[in-house]
Structure 1
Amino acid sequence: MAETDVEECGVGIRGVALAVDSVVWFAFLFVAVYAVGFVTGDVQVTGASADAELSGLAAQVAFLLWLVLSIEYHVLLEYRYGQTIGKYLVAIRVVAADGGDLSLRAATVRNALRLVDVLPVFYLVGIVSVVASDRKQRLGDRVADTVVVRP
């Protein structure tokens, strides 16, 4: 893919993709909480509803499970397809900075650093780094040598 064939994507369109992916994250949160709740016996089923109230170690395990599921969602889909569901719906994709396919290492690095990009409040580091970058790269993109483009 030649660099002239693509447009590097800024904060706006990436934010829309992230909003869609947040729905997937919420589903993973539900899965993590209820999976841990069932294992620990912290799920109360009454009639047609189920409620999981986790605290302490069980809540921490559910949080870590959710975090792993959410990061792996991005890693695996971006590595395999170059895009998550959110990126697919807004027609953007992640590529290596030279325009090639994303390696598993690059997908892992850029998404592990998502944890830093989200700091100190909702994606402030990521937003500032995209705005300050000539190639519209968040910190994870810079370290992984990737860009988000609209083909």
Structure 2
Amino acid sequence: MTVTPRLRVTGHYAGVISRAASAVLDVVIVLVSYTAIAAGIDMLARAITGESLLGELSGPAPLLALAVWAFLYTATGLTIAGRTPGKGIVGLRVVAADGSTLSGRRALWRTLALPVSALPAGLGFLGILVQREHRALHDLITNTAVVYDWGDRVAELPGPLSAFLARSAGAEYTARPPSTEQR
């Protein structure tokens, strides 16, 4: 009976589903936090001045404020940790294309280039589907990539998937007992 270790995915390019999941999480976090901040500021303004700062919620001002908040959220997360909170939840990190740590300047440029991928009807995101490295247009422009990274804990494929891949390659796989070592 041979024991084949689980296949590791840390450092591999992130796929379509994980990138989409992190994007959805980031959009939800940005919208909820923006709404909470705007409501808090409005409540404070009404307590002090008796008038609402929000007033009419149409026009360019609320959209501009949301865009600025989304920019700050993304740029700050990428600059400090190489990931936004949504990417962190999914286990993704943005790195330079050569695998090195993302610099603050590159994080800022990547954040500025992100709308370029979305503007032409989202066509800039097609690279995630068709490229081997799953890089969108903004990744190509800024020479970055998104990879799996769970920090100190090594990301591994689930046992059944590792077993399937081992069988496909012609190797025998036996699940190993749970590890007692600290990670």
* Structure 2 length-normalised TM: 0.63
Equivalence map 1:2-151=2 (5 Å): 6-30=11-35, 31-32=37-38, 35=41, 38=45, 41-42=51-52, 53-55=56-58, 59-121=59-121, 124-151=122-149
Structure 2: segments with no counterpart, 5+ residues: 1-8, 150-183
Greater relative contact order (CA < 8 Å, ≥ 6 in sequence): 2
Give the aligned residue type for 1:148: V
Question: What do residues 69-122 of structure 1 show as CA deviations (whole Å, max 9, x unaligned)?
Answer: 10121111111111111111111110111111111121111111221222344x
Q: 1:32 to 1:139 in 2, by over 3 A?
A: farther
Q: 1:146 to 1:26 in 2, by over 3 A?
A: same
Give the RMSD, CA atoms, in angstroms: 2.8
Q: 1:135 to 1:35 in 2, by over 3 A?
A: same
Counting strand residues as a fraction of each chain, which structure ranks higher?
1
Q: Percent sequence identity over matched residues?
A: 28
How many residues align structurally? 136
- Matches of 2:17 and 2:10 in 1, distance apart? 20
